[in-house]
């Protein structure tokens, strides 16, 4: 019995140390985010030819409007909008053909974003200087393409813009928006402030075209395209710059089931990439590539929504039987709680945030389901359906 109790003590301390380390990582980044200063990038002297890629898998409800809005960018140079049509209806295809875009049709046995992008680039020439990736529900703020060009012409190779919600009407879309903005603060602004790379969100991001094309040739993943891309770029010593002044609006999920499926895909990719690249992380550490190690550590962090709950409940349980171990759990809870408070933008401290409190428990349940469904999500492309919405966020 004493041996069992000792084993439980050791386990509680080891898990507590993991949670405390994770909480400290987030807390440091949350503080650093308040000291982040965007790069002072001047207007470019010339505006090279650009390409905007919009992969569209079964996105009949939104793709026409998104393509049309992309064409309306006030860019001083030439640019092409390339819609990669994967399993779109013929009616949608006919509508798209009325627009001055490049329409690339793909048909894969198993669809993935990386396959779609690689196929499209193989059909195009190499005359572009930079590329922008959008999701099929994304709308760039006016002037975004021009501002991306300013960064590229200033010598940046990879630039992640600020993705923000286009819809905040429901409790779930507000909660999803809150999560996005916290990510922007912690993993984009905070990371850059500490001289590490921003995350790549997967859309609202630009690359030097030839670099993107070469790196993408090595990427063929079911999920986690953004993580595979950022790890490869950081391994090649490319710094990912965060540009909060380049805004892309993104439709947030407003349904619990969709929320759960989406998190299942994200968590599956997150933990998969950590374990698959753990050895490479050790190699990069010996080469002094701290940026790679810091990025890899992000992938082993606990699920954001469950993190404070796990710490709080665990602290209550462990404190009752082993106070010294319980204090570690409580310290982790306090750090992550204040990190979250520090990461929420002031404009979102509104009545709606408190009204969305009830959705937190439903979202937590969906996150637990997502953890249990990670294996299936790793093998099959999980599509997030979009409805199309006018921009109703507080950034409008």
For 350-375, the pLDDT digits (tens) are 655 655 666 666 666 666 666 666 55
Please check whether residue 177 lies inside any domain of the structure: yes
CATH number at residue 214: 3.90.550.10
pLDDT of the residue at 393: 44
| Residue 167 Cα distances to 73, 178, 334, 376, 395, angstroms | 21, 12, 31, 29, 10
> Which of 166-180, 189-203, 240-254 bottoms out in mean pLDDT, i.e. has the lowest?
166-180
Identify the CA nearest to 369 among candidates 224, 268, 242: 268
218 plus 82 within the same structural domain: yes
Please check whether residue 386 lies inside any domain of the structure: no
Mean pLDDT over the full length of the chain: 86
pLDDT tier for residue 72 given thresholds of 50, 70 and 90: very high
213 plus 348 within the same structural domain: no
Tell me how far apart the alpha carbons of residues 353 and 295 are, in angstroms, rounded to a whole number: 30
Please check whether residue 191 lies inside any domain of the structure: yes
Residue 35, judged by CB atoms within 10 A of its CB (0-12, 13-18, 19+), counts as exposed
State both tokens at 313: 């409940």
pLDDT of the residue at 396: 40
Total tally of structural domains belonging to the chain: 2
For residue 225, is pLDDT > 90?
A: no
**Contacts of 205 by beta carbon, 8 Å cutoff, 6+ apart:** 132, 133, 158, 159, 160, 161
DSSP state of 69: H
> Which of 179-193, 293-307, 313-327, 362-376 bottoms out in mean pLDDT, i.e. has the lowest?
362-376
109 plus 232 within the same structural domain: yes
Tell me how far apart the alpha carbons of residues 32 and 277 are, in angstroms, rounded to a whole number: 26
32 plus 55 within the same structural domain: no
280 plus 372 within the same structural domain: yes
CB 73 within 8 A of CB 51: no
| Residue 68 Cα distances to 83, 139, 243, 274, angstroms | 11, 10, 24, 38
Residue 195 Rama label (left phi>0; alpha psi -120 to 50; beta): left
Report, in angstroms and rounded to the nearest whole number, the Rg of the chain calculated over CA atoms. 22
| Residue 372 Cα distances to 59, 153, 164, 269, 310, angstroms | 27, 45, 28, 13, 16
94 plus 175 within the same structural domain: yes
> Quick count: other Cβ atoms within 10 Å of Cβ 338?
15
Please check whether residue 246 lies inside any domain of the structure: yes
194 plus 217 within the same structural domain: yes
Please check whether residue 390 lies inside any domain of the structure: no
* Averaged pLDDT for residues 202-224: 91
Please check whether residue 172 lies inside any domain of the structure: yes
* Averaged pLDDT for residues 32-43: 94
pLDDT of the residue at 359: 63
Please check whether residue 43 lies inside any domain of the structure: no
What does the DSSP assignment read for 202-218? SSSEEEEHHHHHHHHTT
367 plus 248 within the same structural domain: no
For residue 31, is pLDDT > 50?
A: yes
Q: Domain residues for 360? A: 2-36+274-379
Bigger pLDDT: 293 vs 254: 293
Last residue of some domain: 213, 229, 258? 258
* Averaged pLDDT for residues 196-220: 94
pLDDT of the residue at 395: 44
Q: Where are the alpha helices (DSSP H) in 184-277?
A: 191-193, 209-216, 225-235, 256-276
CB 179 within 8 A of CB 337: no
- Give the strand pairing for 102-106 and 79-86: parallel
Tell me how far apart the alpha carbons of residues 85 and 57 are, in angstroms, rounded to a whole number: 7
What does the DSSP assignment read for 318-382? HHHH-HHHHHHHHHHHHHHHHHHHHHS-GGG-SHHHHHTHHHHHHHHHHHHHHHHTHHHHHHS--
Phi first, then psi: give them for residue 67, nearest 5 degrees.
-65, -40
| Residue 304 Cα distances to 92, 300, 338, angstroms | 37, 11, 13
pTM: 0.88
DSSP state of 44: P
104 plus 203 within the same structural domain: yes
Bigger pLDDT: 270 vs 296: 296
Tell me how far apart the alpha carbons of residues 47 and 276 are, in angstroms, rounded to a whole number: 40
141 plus 177 within the same structural domain: yes
174 plus 232 within the same structural domain: yes
The answer to whether the Cα torsion of 301, 307, 308, 314 is positive or negative is: negative
182 plus 205 within the same structural domain: yes
Please check whether residue 41 lies inside any domain of the structure: no
């Amino acid at each position: 019995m004493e041996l069992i109790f000792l084993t439980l003590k050791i386990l509680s301390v080891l898990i507590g140390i993991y949670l405390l380390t994770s909480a400290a990582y987030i807390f440091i980044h949350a503080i650093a985010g308040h000291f982040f200063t965007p790069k002072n990038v001047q207007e470019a002297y010339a505006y090279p030819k650009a390409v905007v890629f919009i992969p569209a898998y079964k996105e009949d409800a939104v793709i026409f409007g998104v393509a049309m809005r992309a064409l309306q960018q006030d860019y001083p140079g030439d640019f092409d909008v390339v819609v990669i049509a994967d399993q779109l209806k013929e009616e949608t295809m006919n509508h798209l053909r009325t627009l001055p875009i490049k329409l690339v049709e793909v048909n894969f046995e198993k669809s993935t974003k990386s396959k779609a992008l690689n196929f499209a680039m193989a059909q195009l020439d190499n005359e572009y200087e930079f590329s922008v990736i959008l999701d099929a529900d994304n709308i760039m703020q006016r002037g975004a393409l021009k501002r991306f060009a300013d960064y590229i012409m200033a010598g940046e190779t990879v630039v992640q813009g600020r993705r923000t919600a286009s819809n905040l009407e429901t409790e779930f879309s507000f909660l999803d928006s809150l999560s996005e903005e916290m990510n922007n603060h912690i993993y984009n602004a905070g990371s850059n402030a500490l001289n590490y790379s921003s995350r790549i969100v997967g859309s609202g991001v630009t690359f030097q075209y030839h670099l993107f094309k070469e790196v993408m040739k090595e990427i063929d993943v079911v999920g986690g395209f953004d993580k595979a891309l950022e790890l490869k770029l950081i391994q090649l010593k490319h710094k990912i710059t965060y540009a909060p002044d380049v805004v892309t609006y993104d439709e947030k999920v407003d349904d619990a089931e969709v929320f759960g499926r989406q998190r299942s895909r994200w968590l599956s990719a997150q933990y998969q990439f950590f374990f698959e690249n753990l050895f490479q992380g050790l190699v990069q550490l010996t080469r002094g590539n701290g940026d790679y190690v810091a990025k890899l550590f992000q992938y082993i962090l606990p699920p954001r929504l469950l993190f404070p709950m796990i710490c709080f409940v665990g602290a209550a349980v462990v404190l009752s039987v082993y106070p010294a171990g319980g204090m570690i759990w409580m310290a982790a809870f306090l750090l992550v709680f204040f990190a979250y408070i520090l990461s929420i933008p002031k404009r979102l401290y509104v009545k709606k945030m408190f009204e969305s409190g009830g959705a937190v428990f439903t979202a937590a349940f969906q996150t637990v389901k997502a953890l249990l469904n990670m294996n299936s999500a790793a093998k099959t492309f999980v599509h997030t359906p979009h409805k199309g919405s006018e921009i109703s966020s507080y950034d409008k």
